[in-house]
Structure 1
Amino acid sequence: MKSARNPNIPLAGPIVLEKAEFFAAHSGYKDFKASSWWLEKFKNRNGIIYRTLNGESASISEEDCKKFLTDILPSLLEVYAIEDIFNADETGLFSNVYQIKLTFKGDTCHGGEKSKDRVTVMACANTRVD
């Protein structure tokens, strides 16, 4: 966890579970199964919390990005057909974000709260080119 988080690489629960099983198997624990219960106990023992990571204040260095693209990514991709490689991201689609009302100059405005109506949209595409 520390070696991945030090260069600001984001980690999600499924990645930690997968790595836990990998390290257990390589340490001789063949019957170990990392579960959500195991993950909760692991987080509690090690002072790990879930937190949304956003913004670029702690972005990954350019050198780390280049290393990933040249040294790591090609070996990860070689086992997949080009049409089986996807990228997906989610975003919020807001409706009625601002409820604009006409009024006269000098009038005070009330009820200017932003609408909270939103739909989460996931866009996904593969690398296939036709």
Structure 2
Amino acid sequence: MPISEPLIKKQAITFSEKLGDIELVVSTGWLEKFAKRHGIIQKVISDESGDVSDIECVQWKSTVLKLLRNSFN
């Protein structure tokens, strides 16, 4: 599930305040250690490796697209 650094920092401050610790400093170092401790990693969600092949496009056009067009005629 995608989450951002600002979101993690904001939630950390919110939880800290609710627990009575209003002096928490959420620095970059704190965030790096938190992420490492909890197994949070940074990944690319989408890139070229997720592209659809030309063969799949041709097959889709000749089957699904053809059926869709026929249903509107």
Q: TM-score, normalised by structure 1?
A: 0.34
Query: Could you tell me how far apart the structure 1 residues matched to 2:12 and 2:45 are?
Result: 22
User: How many residues are matched?
Assistant: 47
Q: Deviations over 1:57-77 (max 9, x none)?
A: xxxxxxxxxxxxxxxxxxxxx
Match of 1:49 among 38, 41, 45: 41
What aligned pairs does 1:51-90 form with structure 2 within 5 A after superposition? 51-54=43-46
Aligned partner of 1:99 in structure 2 is: none
Partner of 1:16, secondary structure, is: helix
The answer for the alignment partner of 1:20 in structure 2 is 12
* Moved >6 Å (runs of 4+): none
More helix as a share of residues: 2
Task: Please give the per-residue CA displacement for 1:83-104, whole angstroms capped at 9, x wherever unaligned.
Answer: xxxxxxxxxxxxxxxxxxxxxx
Deviation readout 1:15-59 (Å, 9 max, x if unpaired):
10111011001111011121111000001111111112238xxxx
**% same residue:** 32
- The structure whose residues are more often strand, as a share, is 1
The whole-number CA distance in structure 1 between the counterparts of 2:9 and 2:30 is 9
Whichever residue aligns with residue 40 of structure 1, its letter is: E
Q: RMSD of the alignment, in Å?
A: 1.4
- The equivalent residue for 2:26 is 34
* Uncovered stretches (5+) of structure 1, i.e. residues with no partner: 56-130
Q: Distance in 1 between matches of 2:4 and 2:45?
A: 11
SS at match of 1:44: helix
